[in-house]
Amino acid sequence: MKAVHTELHRNHDPQFYLVRGVVKRTTEQPERADRLLAGLKAGKHELVAPTAFGQGPRARVHSPEYLNFLEEAWEAWAALPDAGSEMIPNMHPVRNEATYPTHIVGRLGWHTTDTSAPIGPGTWAGACAATDVAVTAAQMALDGEDAVYALCRPPGHHAYRDLASGFCFMNNSAIAAAHLRQRHERVAILDVDVHHGNGTQGIFYERPDVLTVSIHADPVSYYPFVWGHAHERGQGAGLGANLNIPLPLKTGDDAYITALETAARMIHAFAPTALVVALGLDASEHDPLAGLAVTTPGFRRIGAALAQLGLPTVLVQEGGYLSDILGQNLTAVLAGFEEAR
Ligand code: ZN
């Protein structure tokens, strides 16, 4: 399996992370990509540089005002007197009878659901590189590759049409799916990150042509808390095209594989002709965000189960934080996929 990768992710190097009222260094660090790259090299995957696709693929998923905000944000922020070294919102308007703000502090609040997507001087460049990585992988699948891996950083699945959230700015998985939709009538997105893919769900919630399935730690006691529950099934024309499978904290390999079998039945019933896997590795037993308890052999089994869906597949990197086996888990999931194909 070929893998798309660029060093341009280093432009985005966030620091701020607010956890239970305590400011810490974020877990979404450039070193994540170094460890994932080591995992790709261990698996002897051919590395491919991304093509720059410009704004077109991003604009299929994100609103014009949001893309303008992300592009202009740092310059406007840096011009404020006493501006901090990263953009952290101090308001989150709920938008009832609201007016779109023109001031950068207002726009920052408008376009974020939480404080865990800090914007720095290189965030736009890094986030754009990540969407190019995802779209390049999707284009390779359209051009005939059976399966392609996209090493995206920053991740994307918490980003909505016009909201940054949870380390995410642009939704790489959704953008890959929208790119595949040009030639595939029905596309499925299967999110195996430990966190619910709330942004992806939100983007496609009313659409019948993109199935969104997410397996994740139960949001009753885990981020993002207010999305990811089993009763969220889509809306309007999209009713029935969203499936959430919340799992108890510390769920291990066997129960995870059972959840994947449920997801597979839903995907087969939907009958898509292409698949995007939102490939978080933070369900690991050793991940610092401590949600689920999947082992490295468990990731190999997950890879095999993904391959057995039998669809052209784009695997888009989502979460997965610094642990000694982050790279090994990537090697394992891709090896499991290739063995079962
Ligand atoms: Zn995650």
CA 238 to centroid of ligand 1, rounded, Å? 24
CA 102 to centroid of ligand 1, rounded, Å? 32
Is CATH 1.10.357.10 the right assignment for the domain spanning 2-340?
no
The three-class DSSP label of residue 39 is: helix
Q: What is the chain's mean pLDDT, rounded?
A: 97
> How large is the average pLDDT for residues 224-241?
98
Residue that the structure tokens 């590189």 belong to: 129
- The gap from C-alpha 287 to its chain's centroid, in whole angstroms, comes to 16
CA 97 to centroid of ligand 1, rounded, Å? 32
CA 169 to centroid of ligand 1, rounded, Å? 14
Are 318 and 284 within 8 A, CB to CB?
Answer: no
Residue 97, pLDDT above cutoff 90: no
**0.95 exceeded by the pTM?**
yes
Torsion of CA 148, 154, 155, 156, to 10 degrees: -100
Question: 114-141 as b/e, with b when 16 or more CB fall inside 10 Å?
Answer: bebbbbbbbbbebbbbbbbbbbbbbbbb
Active-site residue 92, yes or no? no
DSSP string for 130-180: HHHHHHHHHHHHHTT-SEEEE--SS--TT--SS-BBTTBSS-HHHHHHHHH
- Write down the H helix ranges in the chain: 30-42, 56-59, 64-78, 104-110, 123-142, 172-180, 198-204, 253-270, 296-307, 326-340
CA 194 to centroid of ligand 1, rounded, Å? 5
pLDDT tens-digit series, residues 247-305: 999 999 999 999 999 999 999 999 999 999 999 999 999 999 999 999 999 999 999 99
> How large is the average pLDDT for residues 124-153?
98
CA 81 to centroid of ligand 1, rounded, Å? 35
Are 263 and 243 within 8 A, CB to CB?
Answer: yes
Tokens of 255: 């129960």
Instruction: Identify the pLDDT of residue 233.
Output: 98
Instruction: Identify the pLDDT of residue 96.
Output: 84
Distances from the Cα of 171 to the Cαs of 32, 61, 158, 161, in angstroms? 18, 8, 7, 8
DSSP string for 303-330: HHHHHTT-S-EEEEE----S-TTHHHHH
Domain ranges of the chain: 2-340
Are 212 and 243 within 8 A, CB to CB?
Answer: yes
Which listed residue (12, 45, 111, 158) is catalytic? 158
Distances from the Cα of 90 to the Cαs of 56, 85, 107, 118, 122, in angstroms? 31, 15, 11, 12, 21
